[in-house]
Chain A
Amino acid sequence: MDLLEVSKLNIRYRTKDRTIHAVRDLSISIKRGEVVGLVGESGCGKSTFGMSLLRLLPVSTDISAKKMMFNAGDGMQAGGIDILELSEKELRRLRWKHISVIFQGSMNSLNPVARIGSQFADAMFWHGFDDETIKNSISSHLELVHLDDSIRKSYPHELSGGMKQRVAIAMALVCSPELVIADEPTTALDVVVQRRILKLLMDTKEKLNLSIIFITHDISLLASIADRVAVMYAGSIVEIGDVRTLFRSPLHPYTKGLMSTIPRVDERQSELVEIHGSPPDLSGSIRGCPFAPRCGIATELCAVEMPQLRVVEGRHMVSCHNVEVQDGKND
């Protein structure tokens, strides 16, 4: 049984005058110990999906799914839990203890008026850990991210950006969750620090057998860290597969486009290729393939019929009318 099983997830933001359909029929499964990269442009719904796993979206948001199961091992009821059915109280138990988050703007994700130590401690305290465990876990987790134990007495403003990011990682792991949602955890950092943080995250992941959903707009970042990569466009996954497969033979025109925006030094390349146009407005319903208006190989069919995700080979799936699928089986 996979750790997380999501099927046909739809998320709609309701505002006064319109509804934004941010996530459309998204299905994905995540195995224990697996790192899945979620990549796409700003506004493609990748963060919305991440936050929905902890139900951290505004109350007015509409979430529906055929299935949204989290199958944690011990400590939780057998057969998994339905995230959408949880009460306030059960949600609080799920948050951080089983699924935690490393936030995008981790510069601001720490309470400026509380000491680092107390920000670790409050999470653990409310999840029922005793004082002795809390004290030891803070030390061991700070060590895990190569921070000195003394910074537990520091305030966030006394730390550098990289240190705060490492604090955010350590804090996300302190209650030993099974799944961590890393929402652009390194975007605000310079490349040197970024590399160090990523390596740290991967080392930690190995030690703790974590599953990670790594949300980013930088597809090149995923090559070294992800087991699988899912490419999102306009609220749906357009291609998903093992990281090697996807980088070696991307099939969807959008994935190909993303790949060609990566600068390469080992090949002659006169200029970077950009994907023309911009993503569709998600407030209306979309007819046909959402990528069709920007696609170089779109046909008449693409304009009228939304392609479904189909298996290409093994775990490699793609939603495009113009990609030959081996067995031709529709999913």
Chain B
Amino acid sequence: MISKRYLLRRLTNMAVIAYGAITLNFFLPRIIPGNPVMANLFGGGGGQIGNPVVVRRLTQEFGLNNPNLLYQYYRYLVELVHGNLGISFYYYPQSVVSVIVQRLPWTLFLAGSGTILAALLGIPLGIFLAWRKGTLPDSLISSAGMLISSIPYFWIGIVLLIFFAVDITIFPVAHAVSQGVTYSSVFAYLGDVLYHAVLPISTLVIALMPGYALQMRNTMITVMHEDYILTAFAKGLPNHVIKNRYAARNAILPVTTHVGIALGYVVGGALMVEYLFAYPGLGYTLFSAIQSEDYPLMQGIFLIISLCVIFANFIVDMIYTLIDPRVSLT
């Protein structure tokens, strides 16, 4: 299967890229103009703006007292190794790690299930369309798919929100759970979570599914011109075997890459949907962090996003070696 040497090389590769990402994550937010201490005072304790003692203490606490960027970078790396991403300005005095730990599961749940559901529905749809290339159902569904994938996905969210939560109020407008409710059981809680997730997940599925379906369809149509498909027909195999074991099996390879990398972006990718539905995930948190110039939180979230993308790439590489025998393992 996967050789140790291959694994080691991929892991080293991943570490180097991760280091690059960490470094960029440190320097990029510092390009934004403005002063985080002042932003913090505006955000939280408005009355303390003029107080030099408070300003000095916050500057100290945020590690900004030494203006040397390289020194700050060094401190950043040291603290990072100790699992400390600093203290959030906006959610002061919560630490960045604790904010992320609270928010991450919501995002993983929302965007993860949205992406996976979109792939699970989109890929079979693509296979269905490719097999019926050029027929009326194919033309209609493919055109509709192209139309939908050209719509910005938050707009789809807005439409769903207005229709299903405002006009006919069958789904909640916002949040991940009902506010101020005590649950009789864990199932009641989970039910409430699912109920709140229907609209945001639907938004993601509607937005992502056409892309996966069309990619699967187009790849499979190309594959169906290959000689081995003609061989499969000549062998007298039943249609479902040719469709699944020959055509779809080969066409799914590039789509897997697409879905895998999309899963890596999931952590930050659902920002607009989370914002729209006031969903307490990382995207929503990132949005407020940017608004309030919350450097540590921004850095923390960006770091998580980049690490997830890098990790997803690694996983895609691993999966690829398992599903495509032509990819070399050495």
Which A residues form the contact surface with B (CB < 8 A)? 54, 56, 91-97, 100-101, 103-106, 108-114, 122-123, 126-127, 155, 157
Contacts and interface: CB of A to CB of B under 8 A. Distances in A.
Nearest to B328: A157
B236 A103 contact: no
Interface stretch (B23-31, B53-61, B299-307, B319-327): B319-327
A96 B326 contact: no
A96 B249 contact: no
B228 A123 contact: no
A96 B235 contact: yes
B314 interface: no
Contacts of B246: 111
A113 B249 CA distance: 8
A108 B226 contact: yes
B108 interface: no
B236 A126 contact: yes
Interface residues of B, number: 22
28 contacts: A91-B236, A92-B236, A93-B236, A94-B236, A95-B233, A95-B234, A95-B235, A96-B234, A96-B235, A97-B236, A103-B231, A108-B226, A109-B228, A110-B231, A111-B228, A111-B231, A111-B250, A112-B228, A113-B249, A113-B250, A113-B324, A114-B249, A122-B237, A122-B241, A123-B235, A126-B237, A126-B241, A155-B326
Most chain B CB within 10 A, of A92, A93, A94, is at A92
Contact of B227 (A105, A114, A127, A157): A105
A94 B228 CA distance: 19
Main secondary structure of the interface of A (DSSP, over half): loop
A122 B235 contact: yes
B235 A103 contact: no
Given A112-B228, A112-B326, A157-B325, A56 B250 contact: no
Main secondary structure of the interface of B (DSSP, over half): helix
Given A122-B245, A155-B325, A110 B236 contact: no
A49 to B, nearest CB: 15
Contact of B245 (A95, A97, A114, A157): A114
Contacts of B241: 122, 126
Contacts of B237: 92, 122-123, 126
Contacts of B249: 111, 113-114
B227 A96 contact: no
B232 interface: yes
B153 to A, nearest CB: 33
B238 interface: yes
A123 B236 contact: yes
A111 B234 CA distance: 13
Contact of A100 (B227, B232, B234): B234
Contacts of A113: 249-250, 253, 323-326
A126 B238 contact: yes
A181 to B, nearest CB: 9
B236 A127 contact: yes
Given A105-B227, A126-B241, 4 more contacts: A56-B234, A100-B235, A111-B231, A126-B235
Interface string B37-64: 0000000000000000000000000000
B230 to A, nearest CB: 6
A111 B242 CA distance: 11
A108 B227 contact: yes
A91 B324 CA distance: 32
Interface in B200-241: 226-228, 230-238, 241
Given A109-B227, A113-B249, A157 B236 contact: no
- By Cβ-Cβ distance, the 3 closest A-B pairs, closest first, are A95-B236, A108-B227, A92-B236
Nearest to B249: A113
A101 B227 contact: no
A126 B226 CA distance: 22
Contacts of A122: 235, 237, 241, 245
A114 B235 CA distance: 15
A101 B232 CA distance: 11
A56 B233 contact: yes
Contact of A109 (B231, B236, B245, B250): B231
Nearest to A99: B234
Contact of A96 (B236, B245, B250): B236
Interface in B130-151: none
A182 B233 CA distance: 16
A95 B249 CA distance: 23
A229 B267 CA distance: 68
Contacts of A126: 235-238, 241
Contacts of B250: 111-113
Contacts of B236: 91-97, 123, 126-127
Contacts of B228: 108-112
A101 B233 CA distance: 11
A109 B230 contact: yes
Contacts of A95: 233-236
A157 B325 CA distance: 9
Contacts of B235: 95-96, 100, 122-123, 126
Contacts of A110: 228, 231
Nearest to B246: A111
A127 B236 CA distance: 8
A58 to B, nearest CB: 11
A92 B236 CA distance: 4
B1 to A, nearest CB: 14
Most chain B CB within 10 A, of A110, A123, A155, is at A123
A46 B282 CA distance: 64
Contacts of B230: 56, 103, 109
Most chain A CB within 10 A, of B236, B238, B241, is at B236
Contacts of A103: 227, 230-231, 234
A93 B235 CA distance: 9
